């Protein structure tokens, strides 16, 4: 045994490692013992890979003065920075690109853990030490013996260690290097977080125990029969009591079964028994195939309503516990999602167990991305360099072998954004050869050379429509393949906009088999001063700021409006209709509607006046029925009215309680009567003041001062909004970077010129011109005030002047109220809604508070607008709109919101600032993807809109 000569060549070696056992299925044994080595470990972090010799691995080494950290964990997220800090980059390598070399400055964490074997640990048999995830390269010693080193951060590695164990005082030493040759293969858009971040487990391996096995469980949708064959390295028997199956391994057996699908995830409990071990099986029968140019499961084409999921926890990084994983799955199911792409690496295996159990289609993606090579036109890309191919094949095998027994996994993905090359082809060939029962995905190869589907990310609506129509050209092979959008709807900040429009296309063209929103969760890191930190907050020399906060849920897993929008857009049942009939359509691929109960209700001016249950037949997937609604109440007072129809879970399910709403629709009945104010009062000029009905104005400027007892300040036309991440766009996007254009043209610094205050017989008219310095275009804005003595009506007329080079962010008025807290409104709610994100906004009566109206996007930006508002009450005022308007209220100005970098920068001012918008520019997904669709753009055009104000007595 020799110490003190640390050879660190392995760190920069392109090979996957040495000493580990061949990859195999990941499973929990029923009877073989295991010992979790998770817990408190000793840690010492050195600045370079060889700063310390390896004497720490020597038995008897005293680490008493080392720090203690939690394993699983990332050392940069523990110790308040004492062990280094996280780094966020999107695709740029945070070190010089000189493969396979890594910097001398290579934070290296020496980990030590001492453990005893439990008293009942068998003395016979072997033992395996398993690491489920270590970033990025580790060398391992047990009781002083060097047992090997490995790379492949999010993949398991096992070592045979039985011969090295003692009953007590075992010393496990693990040296973890932040950077290694493997880092070149792990350039995913996420935080770089070194550490032993998944479980470390010691597994007893009795003589005759199970080694590796492959459950092949297919389903014939014509006969309704399942076929099972469990191939096992060690012979044994397989039983499935519910199916009366008891056969030898390797033997094929057929039985009538219920198939597995994401909608009805039927699992059969079984057992694999070898001479030395019993292993529980959870078998899902399903057949995945490419047929008629479509991805089919059990004979039916699947429509993916998916999301890209990175593993994330705001305190623990990628060290997720089971409850957090379950929370993700439950949230997905409760929001109608049916699919997950495990971007961009295999997740903790327990997550896949949950997908099997609750029902989610999974694209399991290999731990591979070499995106940074794009900066050098992909020169030296490891995936096109044979020296790296063994590492790529090792990664493919570790994923496939670990996860092959999960029915939820229907597609293997080679990795993400790694260009193209021979190494990828080798991976695809190996995977196809090893597992013919699933399809292969990879987005980076637009010719689909190695894949079973054509996949793209962020393609525009227009382009995917062409693909749907099979007018996209491409290679002969590609033309025959189905299409998925493996990433779309970039959920960064406010948005994504336009996903309903995508869904329409997915539903219209068979070839378009859906997509996966980017992404599930904001990777914000809990921070004492900033709330949540993002890129740059740890002083990184290279970083991509809040591009890492682009999820459908906030870091604390509260749904953002984007998730609620997506839930509505992908709901399993649709309701359309008019004239007292509702057309109900089952939009699922496998299940009939028998799991749902249906309800109708009838609202007058947003208040429910009648409701009942709606008999809907248990329609087959894809089927529709016209269902008669009850007669509306005879007298409903002439108010605006509508039906709301809802689909609810009829009984408790594994993922949602009875009564949980899965889908809804609103059908208008009687139209709204617009507010009218007879101009019976006239303006009266007094000492510096003009009064009109309940209001007073500044006689010189025409500025509104009070409405009854309510003080109103700064009321004027407003076109600016705190730019959203989607307004900002990304540097590689052209044509959609509105924020830059808006600032160039001065929309954030509009000047208001007073042209005249006219006191007429029945109206006070204030004429203005609103325009930015340096430019000749502008808006003529005329405010016309009238009153019937009690109510005050403002009609704003806007006329563009000159050539407007850009759309407007918003068009409406803003004003300040001295105080406001509670807010009530009748219109769209309960959450925010913008022109292209308001599918989930439903018309009703809602209540909140000014604070409650804010959406806490991690980088502050425009948020919180309530759409289609008929009237609102706040701060002692009632406002009615003609037509409906968008309502926003906040305790800071738009300018303050715009300037803030973190939520903690927002400090409430005395005034509550209210925006009543006639129109808003859409949201789009320009932060990574197409901008605002033409129909949601707000162009400077003549417009007129009114608000009727009254004081609430
Ligand atoms: C994609 C990439 C993702 C993420 C996303 C933008 O290009 O695959 O990892 O970077 O863009 O957030």
Does the pLDDT of residue 122 top 90, yes or no?
Answer: yes
Does the pLDDT of residue 2 top 70, yes or no?
Answer: no
- Ligand 1 site, residue 417, Cβ cutoff 6 A: yes
Spacing, Cα 101 to ligand 1 middle (Å)? 25
Best residue among 363, 417, 491, 521 to mutate for probing ligand 1's pocket (most ligand atoms within 8 Å of CB) is: 417
Counting residues of the chain whose pLDDT is more than 70, the rounded percentage is 99
Topology of domain 6-205 in CATH is Jelly Rolls (2.60.120)
Residue nearest to atom 6 of ligand 1 (CA): 928
- Ligand 1 site, residue 90, Cβ cutoff 6 A: yes
Q: What is the pLDDT of residue 735?
A: 61
Best residue among 91, 189, 413, 535 to mutate for probing ligand 1's pocket (most ligand atoms within 8 Å of CB) is: 189
pLDDT (tens digit, 9 = 90+) per residue, 63-111? 999 999 999 999 999 999 999 999 999 999 999 999 999 999 999 999 9
Q: What is the pLDDT of residue 734?
A: 63
Domains of the chain: which residue ranges?
6-205, 213-288, 290-568, 572-668, 685-737+785-951
Phi-psi region of 934 (alpha: psi -120 to 50; beta: other; left: phi over 0): alpha
Helix (H) or strand (E) holding 467: helix 461-468
- Ligand 1 site, residue 457, Cβ cutoff 6 A: yes
Residue nearest to atom 4 of ligand 1 (CA): 189
Q: Answer yes or no: are the C-beta atoms of 4 and 169 closer than 8 Å.
A: no
The residues facing 248 across adjacent strands are 237
Q: Is 813 exposed, middle or buried (0-12, 13-18, 19+ CB in 10 A)?
A: buried
pLDDT (tens digit, 9 = 90+) per residue, 535-560? 999 999 999 999 999 999 999 999 99
Q: What is the pLDDT of residue 102?
A: 97
Q: At CA 361, angle to CA 356 and CA 364, rounded to 5? A: 90
pLDDT, mean of residues 879-900: 98
Structure-block tokens of residue 562? 């984007």
- Ligand 1 site, residue 369, Cβ cutoff 6 A: no
| 290-568 CATH, one of 3.40.50.300, 3.20.20.80, 2.60.40.3120, 3.30.70.890 | 3.20.20.80
Q: Answer yes or no: are the C-beta atoms of 738 and 497 closer than 8 Å.
A: no
Q: What is the pLDDT of residue 6?
A: 53
Report the nearest atom of ligand 1 relative to the CA of 550: 12
Q: Answer yes or no: are the C-beta atoms of 391 and 185 closer than 8 Å.
A: yes
- Ligand 1 site, residue 927, Cβ cutoff 6 A: no
377-398 burial, b for 16+ CB within 10 Å, e for fewer?
ebeebbbbbeebbebbbbbbbb
- Tallying the residues shown for the chain, one arrives at 953
- Ligand 1 site, residue 368, Cβ cutoff 6 A: no
- Establish how many alpha carbons lie within 13 A of residue 386's alpha carbon, considering only the half-sphere containing its beta carbon: 0
Q: What is the pLDDT of residue 328?
A: 98
Spacing, Cα 304 to ligand 1 middle (Å)? 19
Determine whether 507 is an active site residue. Answer: no
Q: Per-residue confidence at 638, pLDDT binned at 50, 70, 90?
A: confident
**How many Cβ atoms sit within 10 Å of the Cβ of residue 376?**
10
Compute the distance between CA of residue 886 and CA of residue 814 in angstroms, rounded to an integer: 11
Helix (H) or strand (E) holding 559: none
Determine whether 487 is an active site residue. Answer: yes
**Torsion, CA 721, CA 725, CA 726, CA 729, rounded to 10:** 110
Compute the distance between CA of residue 946 and CA of residue 930 in angstroms, rounded to an integer: 33
**Residue 172 three-state SS:** strand
- Ligand 1 site, residue 311, Cβ cutoff 6 A: no
Compute the distance between CA of residue 443 and CA of residue 363 in angstroms, rounded to an integer: 12
Q: Per-residue confidence at 192, pLDDT binned at 50, 70, 90?
A: very high
Q: Answer yes or no: are the C-beta atoms of 69 and 193 closer than 8 Å.
A: no
Q: What is the pLDDT of residue 353?
A: 98
Q: 213-288 domain in CATH 2.60.40.10?
A: yes
Among 640, 675, 868, 943, CA closest to 787:
675
Q: What is the pLDDT of residue 3?
A: 46
Compute the distance between CA of residue 625 and CA of residue 575 in angstroms, rounded to an integer: 10
- Ligand 1 site, residue 149, Cβ cutoff 6 A: no
Compute the distance between CA of residue 903 and CA of residue 142 in angstroms, rounded to an integer: 47
pLDDT (tens digit, 9 = 90+) per residue, 194-244? 999 999 999 999 999 999 999 999 999 999 999 999 999 999 999 999 999
Task: Pick the catalytic residue from 12, 135, 365, 417.
Answer: 417
pLDDT, mean of residues 668-696: 96
- Per mean pLDDT, which range of 84-98, 426-440, 626-640 is the poorest? 626-640
**Torsion, CA 799, CA 804, CA 808, CA 813, rounded to 10:** -30
Spacing, Cα 343 to ligand 1 middle (Å)? 9
Residue nearest to atom 9 of ligand 1 (CA): 189
pLDDT (tens digit, 9 = 90+) per residue, 244-290? 999 999 999 999 999 999 999 999 999 999 999 999 999 999 999 99
Structure-block tokens of residue 593? 């509607």
Spacing, Cα 511 to ligand 1 middle (Å)? 24
Q: What is the pLDDT of residue 953?
A: 81
> Could you check whether the bond before residue 718 is cis, i.e. omega within 30 degrees of 0?
no
Q: Per-residue confidence at 732, pLDDT binned at 50, 70, 90?
A: confident
pLDDT (tens digit, 9 = 90+) per residue, 925-948? 999 999 999 999 999 999 999 999
Task: Pick the catalytic residue from 487, 571, 640, 862.
Answer: 487
- Ligand 1 site, residue 487, Cβ cutoff 6 A: yes
Q: 685-737+785-951 domain in CATH 3.40.50.300?
A: no
Which residues, other chains included, contact 321 with Cβ-Cβ below 8 Å and sequence gap of 6+?
313
pLDDT, mean of residues 733-752: 91
Compute the distance between CA of residue 519 and CA of residue 308 in angstroms, rounded to an integer: 5
Among 773, 734, 735, CA closest to 753:
773
Q: What is the pLDDT of residue 1?
A: 44
User: What's the gap between Cα 947 and its chain centre?
Assistant: 38
No. of helices (H) and no. of strands (E), the chain:
11, 58
Among 350, 232, 224, 345, CA closest to 287:
224
Domains 213-288 and 572-668 share a fold: yes
pLDDT (tens digit, 9 = 90+) per residue, 464-511? 999 999 999 999 999 999 999 999 999 999 999 999 999 999 999 999
Spacing, Cα 916 to ligand 1 middle (Å)? 35
Compute the distance between CA of residue 380 and CA of residue 382 in angstroms, rounded to an integer: 6
Work out whether strand 236-240 and strand 581-586 pair parallel, antiparallel, or are unpaired: unpaired
Q: Answer yes or no: are the C-beta atoms of 181 and 85 closer than 8 Å.
A: no
Starting at the edge strand found earlier in the chain, the sheet holding 145-151 runs 17-18, 145-151, 137-142, 170-177, 105-115, 39-48, 67-71
**How many Cβ atoms sit within 10 Å of the Cβ of residue 541?**
8
What is the residue-wise DSSP string for 397-444?
Answer: HHHHHHHTT-TTEEEEE--SS----HHHHHHHHHHHHH-TTSEEE-SS
Does the pLDDT of residue 870 top 60, yes or no?
Answer: yes
pLDDT, mean of residues 48-57: 96
Helix (H) or strand (E) holding 350: helix 349-358
Structure-block tokens of residue 24? 């195999």
Residue nearest to atom 11 of ligand 1 (CA): 928
- Ligand 1 site, residue 522, Cβ cutoff 6 A: no
Q: What is the pLDDT of residue 4?
A: 40
CATH class, domain 572-668, is mainly beta
């Amino acid at each position: 045994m020799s110490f003190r000569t640390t050879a660190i060549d392995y760190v920069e070696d392109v090979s996957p490692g040495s000493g580990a056992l061949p990859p195999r299925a990941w499973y929990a044994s029923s009877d073989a013992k295991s010992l979790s080595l998770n817990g408190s470990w000793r840690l010492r972090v050195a600045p370079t890979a060889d700063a310390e010799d390896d004497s720490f691995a020597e038995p008897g080494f005293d680490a008493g003065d080392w720090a203690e950290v939690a394993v699983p964990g990332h050392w940069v997220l523990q110790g308040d920075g004492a062990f280094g800090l996280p780094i966020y980059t999107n695709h740029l390598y945070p070190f010089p690109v000189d493969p396979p070399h890594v910097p001398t400055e290579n934070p290296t964490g020496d980990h030590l853990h001492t453990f005893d074997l439990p008293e009942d640990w068998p003395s016979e048999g072997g033992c395996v030490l398993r690491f489920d995830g270590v970033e990025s390269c580790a060398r391992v010693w047990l009781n002083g013996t060097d047992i090997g080193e490995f790379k492949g951060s999010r993949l398991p590695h096992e070592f045979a260690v039985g011969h090295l164990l003692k009953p007590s005082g075992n010393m496990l030493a693990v040296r973890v290097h932040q950077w290694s040759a493997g880092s070149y293969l792990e350039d995913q858009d996420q935080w770089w977080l070194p550490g032993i971040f998944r479980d470390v487990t010691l597994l007893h391996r009795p003589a005759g125990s199970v080694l590796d096995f492959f459950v092949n469980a297919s389903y014939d949708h014509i006969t309704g029969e399942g076929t099972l064959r469990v191939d096992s390295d060690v012979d044994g028997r397989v039983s499935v009591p519910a199916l009366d199956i008891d056969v030898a391994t390797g033997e094929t057996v057929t039985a009538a079964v219920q198939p597995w699908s994401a909608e009805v995830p039927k699992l059969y409990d079984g057992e694999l028994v070898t001479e030395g071990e019993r292993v529980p099986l959870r078998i899902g029968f399903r057949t995945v195939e490419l047929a008629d140019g479509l991805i089919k499961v059990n004979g039916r084409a699947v429509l993916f309503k998916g999301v890209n999921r990175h593993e994330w926890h705001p305190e623990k990084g990628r060290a997720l516990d089971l409850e957090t994983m379950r929370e993700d799955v439950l949230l997905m199911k409760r929001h109608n999602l049916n699919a997950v792409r495990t971007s961009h690496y295999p997740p903790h295996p327990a997550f896949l167990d949950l997908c099997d159990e609750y029902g989610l289609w999974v694209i399991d993606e290999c731990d591979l991305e070499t995106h940074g090579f794009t900066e050098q036109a992909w020169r030296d890309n490891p995936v096109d360099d044979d020296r790296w191919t063994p590492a790529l094949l090792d990664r493919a095998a570790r994923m496939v072998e670990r996860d092959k027994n999960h029915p939820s996994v229907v597609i293997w993905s080679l990795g993400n954004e790694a260009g193209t090359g021979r190494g990828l082809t080798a991976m695809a060939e190996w995977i196809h050869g090893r597992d013919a029962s699933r399809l292969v995905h990879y987005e980076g190869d637009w010719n689909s050379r190695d894949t079973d589907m054509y996949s793209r990310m962020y393609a525009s609506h227009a382009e995917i429509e062409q693909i749907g129509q099979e007018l996209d050209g491409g290679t002969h092979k590609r033309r025959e393949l189905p299409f998925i959008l493996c990433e779309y709807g970039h959920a960064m900040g406010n948005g994504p906009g336009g996903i309903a429009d995508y869904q329409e296309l997915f539903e219209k063209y068979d070839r378009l088999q859906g997509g996966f929103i980017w992404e599930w969760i904001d990777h914000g890191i809990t921070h004492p001063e900033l709330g949540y930190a993002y890129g740059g907050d740890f002083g990184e020399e290279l970083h991509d700021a809040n591009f890492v906060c682009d999820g459908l849920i906030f870091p604390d897993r509260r749904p953002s409006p984007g998730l609620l929008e997506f839930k509505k857009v992908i709901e399993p049942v649709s309701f359309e209709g008019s004239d007292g009939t509702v057309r109900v359509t089952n939009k699922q691929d496998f299940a009939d509607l028998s799991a749902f109960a249906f309800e109708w209700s009838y609202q007058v001016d947003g208040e429910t006046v009648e409701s009942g249950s709606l008999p809907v037949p248990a329609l087959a997937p894809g089927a529709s029925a016209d269902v008669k609604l009850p007669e509306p109440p005879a007298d409903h007072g002439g108010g605006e009215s509508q039906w709301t129809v809802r689909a609810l879970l009829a009984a408790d399910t594994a993922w949602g309680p009875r009564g949980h709403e899965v889908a809804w629709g609103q059908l208008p009945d009687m139209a709204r009567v617009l507010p009218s104010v007879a101009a019976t009062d006239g303006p009266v000029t007094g000492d510096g003041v003009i009064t009109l009905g309940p209001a007073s104005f500044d006689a010189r400027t025409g500025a509104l001062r009070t409405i009854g007892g309510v003080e109103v300040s700064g009321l004027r036309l407003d076109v600016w909004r705190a730019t959203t991440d989607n307004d900002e766009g990304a540097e590689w996007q052209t044509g959609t970077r509105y924020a830059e254009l808006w600032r160039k043209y001065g929309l954030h610094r509009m000047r208001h010129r007073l042209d005249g205050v006219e006191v007429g017989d029945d109206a006070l008219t204030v004429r203005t011109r609103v325009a930015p310095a340096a430019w000749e275009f502008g808006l003529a804005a005329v405010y016309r005030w009238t009153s019937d003595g009690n109510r005050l009506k403002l009609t704003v007329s806007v006329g563009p002047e000159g050539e407007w080079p850009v759309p407007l962010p918003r068009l409406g008025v803003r004003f300040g109220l001295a105080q406001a807290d509670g807010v009530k409104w009748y219109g769209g709610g309960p959450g925010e809604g913008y022109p292209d994100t308001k599918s989930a906004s439903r018309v009703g009566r809602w209540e909140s508070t000014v604070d409650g109206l804010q959406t806490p996007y991690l980088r502050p930006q425009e948020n919180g607008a309530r759409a289609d508002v008929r009237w609102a009450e706040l701060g002692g005022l009632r406002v009615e709109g003609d037509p409906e308007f968008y309502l926003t209220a906040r305790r800071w100005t738009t300018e303050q919101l715009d300037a803030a970098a973190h939520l903690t920068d927002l400090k409430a001012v005395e005034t509550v600032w209210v925006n009543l918008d006639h129109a808003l520019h859409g949201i789009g997904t320009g932060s990574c993807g197409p901008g605002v669709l033409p129909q949601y753009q707000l162009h400077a055009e003549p417009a007129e809109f009114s608000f009727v104000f009254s004081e609430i007595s």
